Amino acid sequence: MVPEYREGLRGYTGGMPGQDVSFELDAPLEDLVKRILDIPSPSGHEGPLADAIEKALQSAQHLEVMRLGNTVAARTSLGRERRVIWAGHIDTVPVGDNLPSQIRDGALWGRGSVDMKGGLAIGLSLAVALDSPQHDMTWIFYDNEEVEASKNGLGLFGAAHPDWAVGDFAIVGEPSNGAIEGGCNGTLRVEIETPGKQAHSARSWMGHNAIHSAARVLSRLNDYTPATITVDGLDYREGLNAVGITGGIAGNVIPDSCTVTVNYRFAPDKTLPQAEAHVREVFEGFFVRVVDQAGGCRPGIDGELAQGFISAVDADVRPKFGWTDVARFGEWGIPAVNFGPGDPSLAHSDDEAVSLAEVRAVHQGLRAWLSSYSD
Amino acid sequence: MVPEYREGLRGYTGGMPGQDVSFELDAPLEDLVKRILDIPSPSGHEGPLADAIEKALQSAQHLEVMRLGNTVAARTSLGRERRVIWAGHIDTVPVGDNLPSQIRDGALWGRGSVDMKGGLAIGLSLAVALDSPQHDMTWIFYDNEEVEASKNGLGLFGAAHPDWAVGDFAIVGEPSNGAIEGGCNGTLRVEIETPGKQAHSARSWMGHNAIHSAARVLSRLNDYTPATITVDGLDYREGLNAVGITGGIAGNVIPDSCTVTVNYRFAPDKTLPQAEAHVREVFEGFFVRVVDQAGGCRPGIDGELAQGFISAVDADVRPKFGWTDVARFGEWGIPAVNFGPGDPSLAHSDDEAVSLAEVRAVHQGLRAWLSSYSD
């Protein structure tokens, strides 16, 4: 299929619906990455890529394949003692002018090269190639990661097929510079409202200024020392911060309300209720309303299984502070890490590019670990 | 002319352009108030009422009349030692369902009865009747007081005719419950911006939280004790208050900016530059930007002229805290007071009504003072 541009669509449109695409799975890894990259799959338009992935997985006798929408999963059932889940999203942010992909200076350039088709190629290649991995494997290739959480294919798949959402350890193939980024912090957002009594500002003594009262909320934030908590051997830095403040009615009115929005990023040693209780304790005496929350995820890297993984892939290990899809595994009670090629700071940028050497290194590490069957 | 309602106009429309209206100036005072009230004059539509006022003033031999737009002024030139200005606005907020006016329980009900056609009737009646007042008089009936300051007829008239904007004392006929409300506080509004450094809230230690920094601004407000300052014998309470606060970019971002809007209401002992210097001193170390300002006005009630006024009208005297058109006289260097019938808290309300006894009392007080010619 010749890459082409179409009027009316945003940039490169190779692999649009109706085009038959497939992969040569015995070709070199970099060819597979380039092939996957050249099938555009912005969120909501993952069909052709999902079709090609499904076809590739169906070709492997050792895999049971399950599809939900444009999320495709496959698993082995070899009776191993442990099960590992590998997951990666197949969608990208909208394609700009950076497709078709190009190889320059040992790197593959183009939309999605970092986030996360480099990782995707590794997962797909290993899913098909490893017919006897040392742990039973579940591979999940999911859609709609780059859009609102309610559409997220990993979340929807786990909800629809809870028997597939089981395992002892999970690896999310998101770019991590080839390092292992363990778990993730949880996040809780609350609104703290201070009350007041409205009055004309020419007679301010008739009222009670809610903005002035917010000083005590901000002072508690300034007095707060965020903790660093070690979970499964990794140090998670927490944070408690105002991310918004709003108050005021008019330039001549003493305001009767002021709202401070506070974001608590908490280590994965805490459940959501524990995190909420902590915030309520910090702001005791104030009205606290939870507006948004998402739990964290333990890295689980102190276990035997993960230790084997770490020593096999020979990569740096550090905590993940930002909230990622790793946390969905946290919800399912499965410790998880990010491990994939590419610099996350290049994700979504116009000069997105992934080092092919890093793609090979991550592939090699995972392959080495999963192949070393020793039961 | 029979009061009438017209489709397509908001409520009562007696006295619209093209209708000839005039006053019977020798009729009882309450008839004049009712007559003025039944000529609707919402801001921007003061023409018919201004015409009628001009005609009435022109009928008095002792008055020199000057008109600018829908502002009509008249003055005596009797060679008195002192000149007093009386001013009142002729516009109202939009007419609702409260016209035509009704007399019930000794009160006159309807849009503008309080704000300020009761006062207007007093001014017009005295302007025409007093052909030999004890002080030379300048009477100003002005438009567009209820809308943006740039349209204010008193300000425009004074700017166009500076030789009319002179006097030793001024009385603004705004409702003051029949009491004398002296001078007015000035008002200054500033924005105080605290800086920060943006970062993802998952890595808050990479940034600097501007909202947290605003705690110090609010603390200074909480620590501030507003002064009460005696000016010309009246005690002016000041106030320094946050009237707005805004900060925040998104629920997961450490904000790099937070702005507190502060309103300083200052006694008329201070000029605007002095008020600004005070605020800059309170917030030393912060970036302070002036966004709005208007000077105050001394009451001047400790002078001989005003003392004669106070004893003649036999009314309570108190400071005016809110900013009113009195301050325009402050700009012209003329001490001024508010003195008019009606409860200002009823102004603009649907049940606006003025006590006819209070209208008569204010009329009687002013008449007694201005008639007691003793040169």
Q: How far is B260 from chain A (nearest CA, A)?
A: 9
User: What is the predicted pLDDT for the residue at A147?
Assistant: 87
pLDDT at A56 over 70: yes
Place of tokens 């429309």: B13
Gap between the Cα atoms of A186 and A275, Å rounded = 9
Mean pLDDT for B164-185 is 95
Residue pLDDT, tens place only, B247-302 = 999 888 999 999 999 999 999 999 999 999 999 999 999 999 999 998 999 998 88
Gap between the Cα atoms of B93 and A252, Å rounded = 19
Asked if B227 contacts B275 with a C-beta cutoff of 8 angstroms, the reply is: no
B38 is catalytic: no
Asked if B67 contacts B73 with a C-beta cutoff of 8 angstroms, the reply is: yes
The whole-chain average pLDDT of chain B stands at 91
User: What is the predicted pLDDT for the residue at B23?
Assistant: 86
Residue pLDDT, tens place only, B316-359 = 899 988 888 999 999 999 999 999 999 988 888 888 999 999 99
Asked if A196 contacts A287 with a C-beta cutoff of 8 angstroms, the reply is: no
Gap between the Cα atoms of A185 and A268, Å rounded = 5
Predicted confidence band at B69 (pLDDT cuts at 50, 70, 90)? Answer: very high
pLDDT at A97 over 80: no
Gap between the Cα atoms of A65 and A46, Å rounded = 18
**B171: helix, strand or coil:** strand
- A94 exposure class (CB count in 10 Å sphere: 0-12, 13-18, 19+): middle
pLDDT at A182 over 80: yes
Pick from A243, A247, A321: which is nearest to B251 by CB? A243
Pick from B3, B25, B22, B27: which is nearest to B14 by CA?
B3
pLDDT at A19 over 80: no
From first CA to last CA, the distance across chain B in angstroms is 44
The whole-chain average pLDDT of chain A stands at 91
* CB pair distance less than 8 Å for B202 and A321: yes
Gap between the Cα atoms of B117 and B6, Å rounded = 23
B235 is catalytic: no
pLDDT at A303 over 60: yes
Question: Where do the H-state alpha helices sit in A265-323?
Answer: 272-282, 304-313
What value does the CA radius of gyration of chain A take, rounded to a whole number of Å?
Answer: 24
pLDDT at A13 over 60: no
Buried (b) or exposed (e) across B188-201, using 16+ Cβ within 10 A?
Answer: bbbbbbbebeebbb
Pick from A202, A241, A251: which is nearest to B204 by CB? A241
Gap between the Cα atoms of B293 and A313, Å rounded = 67
User: What is the predicted pLDDT for the residue at A27?
Assistant: 86
Gap between the Cα atoms of A262 and A194, Å rounded = 13
Across-strand partners of B259? Answer: B193, B246
Here the tokens at position B110 are: 């309807």
User: Chain-centre distance of CA B351, in angstroms?
Assistant: 21
Predicted confidence band at B169 (pLDDT cuts at 50, 70, 90)? Answer: very high
B interface with A, Cβ–Cβ < 8 A, is 185, 187, 189, 200-205, 209, 211-212, 214-215, 218-219, 221-222, 226, 237, 239, 241-255, 258, 260-261, 263, 265, 292, 321-323
Residue pLDDT, tens place only, B207-219 = 999 999 999 999 9
Pick from B202, B292, B321: which is nearest to A251 by CB? B292
**How crowded is residue A336: how many other Cβ atoms within 10 Å of its Cβ?**
31
Name which of A5-19, A31-45, B116-130, B165-179 the model is least confident about.
A5-19
Q: Compute the count of residue pairs across chains A and B with CB atoms less than 8 Å apart.
A: 151
User: What is the predicted pLDDT for the residue at B98?
Assistant: 77
* CB pair distance less than 8 Å for B265 and A187: no
User: What is the predicted pLDDT for the residue at A245?
Assistant: 98
Residue pLDDT, tens place only, A153-170 = 999 999 999 999 999 999
A154: left (phi over 0), alpha (psi -120 to 50) or beta: alpha
User: What is the predicted pLDDT for the residue at B5?
Assistant: 33
* CB pair distance less than 8 Å for B265 and A321: no
pLDDT at B58 over 90: yes
pLDDT at A131 over 60: yes
pLDDT at B84 over 80: yes
pLDDT at B82 over 70: yes
pLDDT at A282 over 90: yes
Contacts of A323 in chain B (CB under 8 A): 202
Contacts of B215 in chain A (CB under 8 A): 215, 218-219, 221-222
Predicted confidence band at A16 (pLDDT cuts at 50, 70, 90)? Answer: low
Is ipTM over 0.95? no
Asked if A114 contacts A355 with a C-beta cutoff of 8 angstroms, the reply is: no
pLDDT at B9 over 60: no
pLDDT at A6 over 50: no
User: What is the predicted pLDDT for the residue at B1?
Assistant: 28
Name which of A212-226, A299-313, B105-119 the model is least confident about.
A299-313
Residue pLDDT, tens place only, A190-215 = 999 999 999 989 889 999 999 999 99
**How crowded is residue B219: how many other Cβ atoms within 10 Å of its Cβ?**
16
Give the residue with greater pLDDT, B100 vs A62.
Answer: A62
Gap between the Cα atoms of B120 and B354, Å rounded = 12
Asked if B337 contacts B182 with a C-beta cutoff of 8 angstroms, the reply is: yes
